[in-house]
Amino acid sequence: MYRAGLSNAPAWVALALAGALLVGCSSTEEDRTANWSPNRLYSEAKEEADGGAYDKAVPLFEKLEGRAAGTPLAQQAQIDKAYAQYRAGDKPQAIATLDRFMKLHPASPAMDYAIYLKGVINFNDDLGMFAWLTRQDLSERDQKAAKESFESFKELVTRFPDSRYANDARQRMNYIVNSLAQYEVHVARYYYTRGAYLAAINRAQIALAEYREVPALEEALYIMVRSYDALGMTDLRDDTRRVLTTNYPQSTYLSEGFRAKDEPWWKLW
């Protein structure tokens, strides 16, 4: 029976294929880390990361994960890889790495940091790289990442109340709550300025119903006063005005109107 193969091919074909294989092998980049110990691999990866070369640090941490599998060093490499991915701008991959770490190592002593880092990644993602240039604060952006960030920080302070990261997490939670309330008020003002007074009232009421003791509620009440007035609903206007003046006796909204937005309402610590 006839069987195709190199033994039946002309000699020049076999030589050509052999040459191609040699060229391919010679062009393959040699793994300079092949003989490195896990400790050296980790040291080199950390050096790249500390120098800001996060794109070079990530593959080194990945190699270390494989070579030191099942050891504390491998766990540390996974955490450090997530941070390097985050700093390199690959936030989805950073979060995926953290999720995998938390699933594989639920009893890890670094669990509090992993949860905290996940919250920070979503927190910064919502701020946006150029927010300070456009004066666009967190309240004016999509709130999905902010809510996910809040849930991570909440998990941290609930599970690890004495963690070294807990105090910062609490501050960030307060910031996020303020921003979410301000977001509702921002939308309410948008509707008001376009004459959609019922929509403005409904959005302001959401802020009042879902949040307590946050600065944005003062403006929410004022928007409702103005909207009820525009609709000719004088009884509701007067009732809301009384609530506004009772809770915010020093409020300047009724005398000065909407505040000029020269500076962001928030500030970073």
What CATH architecture is 38-173?
Alpha Horseshoe (1.25)
**CA-closest candidate to residue 101, choices 87, 121, 122, 80:** 80
In tens, the pLDDT along 181-207 reads 998 999 999 999 999 999 999 999 999
Residue 148 has pLDDT above 50, yes or no: yes
Residue 4 has pLDDT above 50, yes or no: no
Under 8 Å between Cβ of 188 and 204: yes
Higher pLDDT, 83 or 33: 83
CA torsion 34-39-42-48 (nearest 10°) is: -80
pLDDT at position 28: 53
258 falls in which pLDDT band (50, 70, 90)? Answer: confident
Q: Which residue has the tokens 């937005």?
A: 261
Under 8 Å between Cβ of 237 and 229: yes
Work out the angle between the directed axes of helices 111-127 and 91-104 (0-180°, nearest 10).
Answer: 160
Distance CA(170)–CA(55), nearest Å, equals: 31
